[in-house]
Amino acid sequence: MSTEIESLQSDLRRFADEREWGAFHTPKNLACALSVEAAELLEHFQWLTEAQSWALDEPKRSEVAAEMADVFLYLLQLSMRLDIDLVAAARRKMIANAKKYPVEHTKGRIAKITEG
């Protein structure tokens, strides 16, 4: 696992421990919080056109970055509580996706492979 991620995990653990939040950081609660934060991220794009979503001004980019950080931190905490190596899981998922969506059948297509 990346030393950056390990360092961030250590910082997250210390942050929660100092506040005695461990009892609240159950997998269910962390998954719920992750979902809420993902919705808050989505809210920033809700009524934008495609072009507007690509052209966020700096204040909006900062707000989006903060929401992305919240999503990332809750996901990382959930992986820690469930003892899941998130980097390894992501790599396994990328391998599975490469098999599920081979380039020769999916290049330039948005439809699912099962839709023909």
pLDDT in tens, 27-72: 999 999 999 999 999 999 999 999 999 999 999 999 999 999 999 9
pTM above 0.75, yes or no: yes
> What's the domain count of the chain?
1
Contact 113, 100 (CB under 8 A): yes
DSSP state of 11: H
Q: Decide if 116 is inside a domain.
A: no
DSSP state of 44: T
Q: Decide if 93 is inside a domain.
A: yes
Distance between CA atoms of 48 and 56, rounded to whole angstroms?
10
Q: Decide if 92 is inside a domain.
A: yes
| Short-list 9, 16, 68, CA closest to 44 | 68
Q: Decide if 115 is inside a domain.
A: no
| Short-list 90, 77, 83, 95, CA closest to 31 | 77
Number of other CB atoms surrounding residue 83 within 10 Å: 6
Specify the CATH number for the domain of residue 9.
Answer: 1.10.287.1080
Range(s) of the domain holding residue 106: 3-110
